[in-house]
Amino acid sequence: MRLLFFGDIIGRAGRNALADYLPDLIRKLSADFVIVNGENAAGGFGITLDIARDFFDLGVDVITTGNHVWDQRELLDQIDNEPRLLRPANYPSQTPGKGSGLFVARDGSKVFVVNVLGRLFMDSLDDPFQTVDRELERVPMGLGADVSIVDMHAEATSEKMAMGHFCDGRASLVIGTHSHIPTADAQILPGGTAYQTDAGACADYDSVIGMEKSAPVQRFTTRLPTGRLQPAQGDATLCGAFVETDGAGLAIRIEPIRIGGRLKPAMPDI
């Protein structure tokens, strides 16, 4: 089957890029399943249920999140009503929402998606490795699911890479989010798991990781507080990955996608 994964969608520019490009990409690439990370979609901070529904209308099947999931506080009372919108699975068990789910792709395949938050340089939650291990054991690929995908939302590249190798052979794709910069290491690991350290943001790259650049530059150069960061509003680059799997759910192909905006385009040949 064919999967599309897109990294952190930042503000209106990222949402516009998704609306402009995703429906055509689904058709051109014959994508069976689409995941986006939406934790920065609402003004750069969090996501609302209305925005999530707009994404579903575009063809998105599942939305993952991360450490900004609760920035729009109304989501605390709403997330239980939308199982396709995930929060990290290693939050405490009493936290609203779900951190994983089993979904049906366009070709009828069962797709298991797990969303976890790293711990290095992040708020400390439960161990993401134990959490992913438990989830993949609960819904094993080849038995409970045809394809399994892990969104590792983390700061440290080492922690993301360790998660890739930890899941190798047990997941179709392990992909990092949160850093907002697309990495050049898309690969298939020895056991057959597709991996990329960070999918990159869907954002205006004339920015500082998707945010209008003057305020963060001032913070770094003066060490003085500035006003609230605002998403950059120029043309965004849609950044993500295209993954193709075999009948066992293992990856046979992973290629980066970059379309629109300032970054050099990258598209898989079909």
pLDDT digits (tens, 9 = 90+) for 184-208: 999 999 999 999 999 999 999 999 9
Cα distance between residue 102 and residue 22, in whole Å: 22
Task: Write phi, then psi, for 111 (nearest 5 degrees).
Answer: -115, 120
Which residue ranges form the domains of the chain, and what is each CATH number?
2-259 (3.60.21.10)
Catalytic residues: 68
- The per-residue pLDDT for 270 is 84
pLDDT at res. 123:
85
Whether the predicted model's global pTM rises above the 0.75 cut:
yes
Tokens of 220: 């770094």
Residue 141: both structure tokens together: 């690929």
Which pLDDT band, with edges at 50, 70 and 90, does 32 fall under?
A: very high
Q: What is the pLDDT of residues 122-141, one digit of tens each?
A: 888 999 999 999 999 999 99
Q: ∠ CA 161-167-173 to the nearest 5 degrees?
A: 80
Q: What is the mean pLDDT of the chain?
A: 96
Got the DSSP string for 104-140?
E-TTS-EEEEEEEE--TTS---S-HHHHHHHHHHHS-
Of 11-25, 207-221, 237-251, the range with the lowest mean pLDDT is 207-221
d(CA 111, CA 62): 10
